[in-house]
Amino acid sequence: MSDEAERPLDFIRQIVEADLASGKHTTIVTRWPPEPNGYLHIGHTKAIWINSSIAAEYGGRCHLRFDDTNPAAESVEFVEAQKEDMRWLGFDWGEHGYFASDYFPQLYEYALELIRRGHAFVCDLSSEEIEARRGTLTQAGEESPFRDRSVEENLDLFQRMRAGEFAPGDRALRAKIDMGSSVLPMRDPLIYRVVDAVHHRTGSEWPIYPLYDFAHCLSDAIEGVTHSLCTLEFADRRPLYEWILEALDIPEPRPRQIEFNPLNFSHTVLSKRFLRRLVEDDLVSGWDDPRLPTIAALRRRGVPPKALMSLCSKVGVTRREEATVELSRLDFEIRDELNRTAQRRLGVLRPLKVVIENYPEDETEMLPALNNPEDADAGTRDVPFSRELWIDRDDFIEDPPKKFNRMSVGREVRLRAAYFVTTTEVVKDANGDVIELRCTYDPATRGGDAPDGRKVRGTIHWVSAAHAVDAEIRLYDVLFEAEDPFDLPDGVEFIDRLNPNALETLTTCPLEPSVADLPAGTTFQLERAGYFSVDPDTTAEHLVLNRTVGLRDTWAKIARKG
């Protein structure tokens, strides 16, 4: 990856370098601020990547801060699940794991100060009344009748909010800015509200909670964050972010909010709302269903976290919010990583029996096979070979088309790491379906090379029938066949467009026995079939594999063209 160095800096790194060069900052501090209200998905990877990689590249630090200001939606379960996902992704926050709720006392003091400075007021309007006065995109809003309360009255009321004297919705603290602003978040935004819920960390200590706009900029300031990186939909809130820091006279250098484009993919959905729909309607098996784009699902499917980080760095950072990455780009990164690191094994997805007629009935020999041709240090393993084998049905065609290099009557091919074999006879059942191949082998070609130098055009994978371990194998395809699942005609829901073939289950797939020894959680390659990982549904008696991603299939393309 030496070309990495030549890649141009993205616009955020340019800002960071300029801030370092000008002396505005000497240490870069970023932060990744998830709300613990659900599962992380692949889109979140980008924010984790950009915040942590910038901190690492410039010798700074990246904080983890759970943005837990809405107790009604959050829980310790989500905190723990998200932490597990982040660690798996390789995000190491070290000593800098925080919660916005750590700052509730300071935030409350800041709110009091804002009132004292005449920049905030307690509003008695109901939610509906506030909404009615907000105005529209083109019309100014109407000021609250409570806007001009005295500092003393506001202080008293706000302290009584804090004391728990008011019910949710009865009183709220609002910043006093400009109801006529064309920037909607500047129209006297609420900054504290009454919430009747038990917070997962502070319990019932606080009857009031700060809203995002108030909590976020100040939490950044408290932590000394220099660059507060968020996605583009927050751009409209930047004026408010800066207004609050200014109104409280937060000392320079203040944290600076910079927005970047989110990571979107074709053929899937990322929004929490839609993912929840799939899970709750039992359209998938759970939050870690390997068809889903959640981190838990990708992990279960066998995707290496490095592939995700690599994808983020290659896709890059811009301000094009509509940018949508083709899902095949993710497949490429997964293959690229796994090709270099994954061990190879032999296994058959759709078995067809092969009998080597000139091989002794009772003999078994162990043949060494390369664990990873890309990695000289990966060594070899012994694979048992015997008279009766399984091969894949796709590797035999009785009447082969042109360019078909695999098995057919009278044709010699190589069995990977074993021998050259020639099909002599085809056995069929009453329906005329091929159920068995009779072959002969050439003992001189042991290991896969012919001493006389003759060549074969095809190399086929195989498994010794007597030694095979059987597995259930789950094959996956895109969740939605359409690139954009929301490009729908009237009356059609995105749910209606789920790909019915996104999961295909094969029940009895013979694999070489050493697959059973692979540590849980590792992803390996079944040669010519794809990359697979052991699913947690596996028991001592029942092996379950997920296909992480297939191999590039050039033959499929040739065959398609005829």
Residues 375-404 that bind RNA (CB under 7 A): 403-404
Using the rule CB under 7 A, is 22 a contact of RNA?
no
Q: Do 472 and 542 touch, CB atoms closer than 8 A?
A: yes
Among 57, 77, 80, 131, binds RNA (CB under 7 A): 131
Among 153, 156, 336, 365, binds RNA (CB under 7 A): 336
Closest of 226, 230, 215 to residue 175, by C-alpha: 215
Q: Segment contacting RNA (CB under 7 A): 85-93, 322-330, 354-362, 491-499?
A: 322-330
Q: Which is nearer to RNA, 368 or 536 (CB)?
A: 368
Write down the least CB distance from residue 217 to RNA, Å: 12
Q: Scanning residues 481 to 540, which ones bind RNA (CB under 7 A)?
A: 525, 527-528
> 134 phi and psi, to 5 degrees?
-75, -20
Write down the least CB distance from residue 120 to RNA, Å: 14
Q: Which is nearer to RNA, 83 or 344 (CB)?
A: 344
Q: Which is nearer to RNA, 61 or 416 (CB)?
A: 416
Using the rule CB under 7 A, is 555 a contact of RNA?
yes
For residue 159, give both structure tokens. 């302290």
CA angle 460, 367, 396 (to 5 degrees): 15
Q: What share of the chain is helix, strand, coil (3-state, %, to 5)?
A: 30, 25, 45
Using the rule CB under 7 A, is 277 a contact of RNA?
no
Q: Which is nearer to RNA, 285 or 329 (CB)?
A: 329
Write down the least CB distance from residue 531 to RNA, Å: 9
Q: Scanning residues 351 to 370, which ones bind RNA (CB under 7 A)?
A: none
Q: Scanning residues 93 to 122, which ones bind RNA (CB under 7 A)?
A: none
Using the rule CB under 7 A, is 374 a contact of RNA?
yes
Write down the least CB distance from residue 525 to RNA, Å: 6
For residue 309, give both structure tokens. 């980080």
Angle of the 305-315 helix axis to the 42-57 helix axis, nearest 10? 70
Using the rule CB under 7 A, is 8 a contact of RNA?
yes
Using the rule CB under 7 A, is 70 a contact of RNA?
yes
Q: How many CA atoms lie within 13 A of 74 on its CB side?
A: 24
Strands (DSSP E) along 202-348, which ranges?
208-210, 227-231, 256-260, 264-265, 324-325, 344-345
Q: How many residues does the chain have?
A: 562
Q: Which is nearer to RNA, 158 or 289 (CB)?
A: 158
Among 57, 77, 165, 233, binds RNA (CB under 7 A): 233
Helix H or strand E encompassing 444: none
Using the rule CB under 7 A, is 165 a contact of RNA?
no
Q: Do 170 and 45 touch, CB atoms closer than 8 A?
A: no
Total interface residues for RNA by CB under 7 A: 95
Using the rule CB under 7 A, is 11 a contact of RNA?
yes
**Dist CA 352 CA 349 (whole Å):** 10
Q: Which is nearer to RNA, 512 or 527 (CB)?
A: 527
Q: Segment contacting RNA (CB under 7 A): 80-88, 176-184, 353-361, 380-388?
A: 176-184
Among 20, 56, 184, 426, binds RNA (CB under 7 A): 184
Q: Segment contacting RNA (CB under 7 A): 130-138, 146-154, 298-306, 431-439?
A: 130-138
**Dist CA 65 CA 228 (whole Å):** 12
Using the rule CB under 7 A, is 195 a contact of RNA?
yes
Among 134, 160, 306, 497, binds RNA (CB under 7 A): 134
Quickly list H helices, 281-372: 295-301, 305-315, 327-341
Among 156, 321, 382, 470, binds RNA (CB under 7 A): 321
Q: Do 408 and 400 touch, CB atoms closer than 8 A?
A: yes
CA angle 46, 48, 49 (to 5 degrees): 60
Closest of 190, 238, 179 to residue 69, by C-alpha: 190
Q: Segment contacting RNA (CB under 7 A): 177-185, 278-286, 350-358, 491-499?
A: 177-185
Q: Which is nearer to RNA, 372 or 423 (CB)?
A: 372
**Dist CA 330 CA 338 (whole Å):** 12
For residue 271, give both structure tokens. 């929004």
Handedness of CA 184, 34, 316, 480 (dihedral sign): negative
Residue 217: strand, helix, or coil: helix
Using the rule CB under 7 A, is 248 a contact of RNA?
no
Q: Scanning residues 201 to 230, which ones bind RNA (CB under 7 A)?
A: 209, 211-212, 215-216
Among 248, 325, 355, 378, binds RNA (CB under 7 A): 325
Q: Do 294 and 38 touch, CB atoms closer than 8 A?
A: no
Q: Scanning residues 282 to 311, which ones bind RNA (CB under 7 A)?
A: none
Among 329, 350, 353, 438, binds RNA (CB under 7 A): 329
Q: Which is nearer to RNA, 91 or 212 (CB)?
A: 212
Please, is 482 exposed, middle or buried when counting C-beta atoms within 10 Å of its C-beta (0-12, 13-18, 19+)? middle
Using the rule CB under 7 A, is 339 a contact of RNA?
yes
Q: Which is nearer to RNA, 107 or 297 (CB)?
A: 107
Q: Do 15 and 323 touch, CB atoms closer than 8 A?
A: no
**Dist CA 110 CA 107 (whole Å):** 5
Site string for RNA, 446-475 (x = CB under 7 A): -xxx--------xxxx--------------
Residue 175: strand, helix, or coil: strand
Q: Which residues pair with 439 in a beta bridge?
A: 356, 423
Among 2, 22, 23, 138, binds RNA (CB under 7 A): 138
